[in-house]
Amino acid sequence: MKTLTEELNDINVAMSKIINDILQANRTIANGLEKCDTDMLETAKKSLNNMSSKTSDIDNKIIKILALYSPEARDLRLIVSIFKITNELVRASSNTRSFIKGFSSYCDELDMQTIKEYAMPLQKATIECLQGVFDMVRSDCVDEIQELFNGVLIAENKTDDLYELLQENIFKHAKEIEDFTKFTKILNALRKSEKIADRALEIANLLLFAKIGGHIGSVE
């Protein structure tokens, strides 16, 4: 029978794989946005198939660990955190797929200046959040984990600011836009990118709690 350490390592590997899948999907989205390439966006979407099944496998492993090993202290803290993280991963994946679906329909109708000035930087900041989370999962150094968390927090704040600026810019030109409903849908799509960053920050909060301690935070 596997030891508790081996079981936790298996879960950590599975969680890293899921985070990396979401990260790479968002990298592909960034390339698709830059070229308005809907095929590339569809490729990113396909890479997120079966996400609920993958996270359910982790949840089932956690239940098995609780039943067999009765973990305590740091191990229990880690398991509780991962149990919550899997839900955030499903939400991040869902937001990514919704972003792709929404933006694929309107990508060619948003001027390149807006894409370069707002959409691309927003997506790149979201990628920074996901990269920081991926690195946090793989690190056991307290100082590095804290530094990575701070980076995720800064990048997430950047996504908030960029989305607000994009929203203000579109509303400022509302009178010049013939089909404002279309731009509302574009904003809703880009909002999903900002939401992915929110989910990444929530995961970073949970990882900080799991590996360092303190209190579990919450990101709306």
The answer for 120, left when phi > 0, alpha when psi is -120 to 50, beta otherwise, is: alpha
Token pair, residue 174, equals 């509302």
Inter-residue contact 183 to 170 (CB < 8 Å): yes
Taking the CA atoms of residue 192, residue 198, residue 201 and residue 203 in that order, the dihedral angle to the nearest 10 degrees is -70
At residue 56, does pLDDT exceed 90? yes
Please tell me the pTM assigned to this model: 0.89
What is the structure's pLDDT at 167? 81
CB burial readout 49-76, b (16+ within 10 A) else e: eebeebbeebeebbeebeeebebeeebe
User: Which residue would you say has higher pLDDT here, 2 or 68?
Assistant: 68
What is the structure's pLDDT at 220? 47
For the chain, what percent of residues have pLDDT higher than 70? 88
Proportion of the chain in helix, strand, coil states, percent, rounded to 5: 85, 0, 15
* Range 8-37 average pLDDT: 91
Assigned superfamily of 4-211:
Phosphate transport system protein phou homolog 2; domain 2 (1.20.58.220)
Nearest by Cα to 57 from 36, 86, 25, 20: 86
